[in-house]
Amino acid sequence: MNRSISIAVLAGGILLIVFGVGVSQSVSSDISRFFTGSPTEKAIWLLSGGVAATVVGLLGVSRGSMRN
């Protein structure tokens, strides 16, 4: 059961990264980047949360496969 949770967290992390890249390429993010030099906070949160969830999911999947 832990392996299935890890796979779900991994998939969710990848999905967050995809959404984060999409948001960072949006018009509002381009305008924010023009004036502030950085993308919107939403893009940053989606990307950082996606990376964190992906790492946790990968660690869970690899730890589960090492036990078997």
* pLDDT tens by residue, the chain, 68 residues: 688 999 999 999 999 999 999 999 999 888 988 898 888 899 999 999 999 999 999 999 998 766 65
Q: What pLDDT does residue 1 have?
A: 60
SS (H, E, C) the chain: CHHHHHHHHHHHHHHHHHHHHHHHCCHHHHHHHHHHCCCCHHHHHHHHHHHHHHHHHHHHHHHHHHHC
**Domain extent listing, the chain:** 2-67
Q: What pLDDT does residue 67 have?
A: 62
Q: What pLDDT does residue 37 have?
A: 87
Q: What pLDDT does residue 68 have?
A: 58
